[in-house]
Amino acid sequence: MSEYKTFNADDAIAFADEHSELFGEHSKLSAEELADGDLNLVFRVENDKGTSVIVKQALPYARFVGESWPLTTDRARLEAEVLKMHRRFCPEHTVEVRYFDPVACAILMEDLDDYRILRAELNDGKKFNHLAPQMASYMANTLFYTSDFVLSSENKKAEVARFLNPELCLISEDLFFTDPYCNHERNTIEPSILEKAKTLWHDDALKAEVAALKASFLSKPQALLHGDLHSGSVFINSDNCKVIDAEFGFFGPIGFDVGTLLGNLLLNYLASPGLHDAEDSASQQAYLLEQAEQLWLQFSETFTELMNRETQDPALENNLYQQRFLQQVFSDAAGYAGCELIRRTVGLAHVADLDSISDAALRTQCQRNALKLGRELIMQRSELNNINQLLNLVRYQQAD
């Protein structure tokens, strides 16, 4: 293929046939277009024996809530490269990229047809005890092995440049740190919480903290992040988790990945009373707090072990430094989790956890709780010493 062209089902079949060792009989392949966001085409291509692969092609534009703007198809390269790098360090929990075509901007990847999206499972009240340990392992390994603890400074600088990803970073910068804190047309705010949302626009103490979190997002290239680690980027089944959709990956603050995932567990916690009856909600909330606790504890345990054992730079071997580094990751994570709560409630991209609550009064109450907890996490992030203090904030916060 010599130039970019949007795939139809037959193109997807041809692409899969050409680049997948398992196939080879074009005539026996079928393709089904899967629903996705509005940034990509996704096809499942299957042969007559039921073996399937996914073909994902980046579209040259993005569409969010009706708005459409041009967006680099180079993000397909970034997604493929981030996933390959993460798979090097955590093959168990990173989707396998089998082939990437830079002209078609298309990725052939493993089909996770026996998995479901984590967000949908959580909204259905499903519980998986392997969620926290596996995602902790994914984050600790992918983030540690792409950090200054391991990469030589020369190699790290080259990798930072290879993963600059300015266009997709700009989307995150705007949606996380700018739009929710001003009267921006991209925001989606339900009328019932408009007054609460407006208080954010004039909350200078909060905006000072959000500015600091944004500055770190811009200028703290600690490790190669997934960059979009919400519960829609995690596939799960009864045994395993796998991470997909890494097109927002770049070198940024480690706490951003940790905080995004943590924030998504908390969003589901806050939405739970609107999604389930009282008993199921209590049980789901207990499960989610346990997972949030284990996510941090096991992440920090593994990251600490790796720092102790695998640090390559002698100047960074100091134990006290390593403890403080991790404490600062925790504080960053609390802040970014808070940003995720707020932007998912009043920003452009909402989550089904909250939006699917059918009782309007309950939905409003959950949204207000999300704004309140989000603010507390951001404001108190430097004083929180451990995950239990953070979870006590979650347990005892009451919306006013």
Which residues in this chain contact a second copy in the complex, by CB under 8 A? 148, 153-154, 156-158, 160-161, 164, 166-167, 169-170, 173, 177-178, 181-182, 204-205, 207-212, 214-215, 218-222, 313-316, 318-321, 324-325
The candidate with the shortest Cα–Cα distance to 138, out of 53, 252, 223, is 223
Please state the φ and ψ torsions of residue 106, each to the nearest 5 degrees. -125, 145
Taking the complex as a whole, the smallest distance from the CB of residue 143 to a second copy amounts, in Å, to: 13
* Residue in 290, 215, 213 with CA at minimum distance from that of residue 259: 213
Closest CB 176 distance from a second copy, rounded Å: 10
What is the secondary structure of 227-264 as a DSSP string?
Answer: S--STTSEEE-SS-EEE---TT-EEE-HHHHHHHHHHH
Residue 287 Cβ vs a second copy, minimum distance, rounded to whole Å: 35
Report the SS3 class of residue 271. helix
Closest to a second copy by CB, 65 vs 208, is 208
Tokens of 316: 């960074």
- Nearest approach in angstroms of CB 3 to a second copy is 25
b/e 206-215 (16+ beta carbons within 10 angstroms → b) = bbebbebbbe
- State the amino acid at position 367 in one-letter form: Q
Which of 33/148 has CB closer to a second copy? 148
Q: How far is the CB of 11 from a second copy (least distance, A)?
A: 31
CB of 162 to a second copy, least distance (A): 9
Is 137 within 8 Å of 302 (Cβ atoms)?
yes
Which one, 18 or 174, has the nearer CB to a second copy?
A: 174
- Name the residue nearer to a second copy (CB basis): 191 or 314: 314
By beta-carbon proximity to a second copy, the closer residue of 226 and 363 is 226
The percent of the chain in helix, strand and coil, each rounded to the nearest 5, is 55, 15, 30
- The residue (of 168 and 262) whose beta carbon lies closer to a second copy is 168
Closest CB 281 distance from a second copy, rounded Å? 36
Query: In whole angstroms, how far apart are CA 164 and each of 160, 224, 249?
Result: 6, 10, 9
Judged by beta carbon, residue 169 or residue 352, the one nearer a second copy is 169
Q: HSE-up of 216 (CA within 13 Å, CB side)?
A: 20
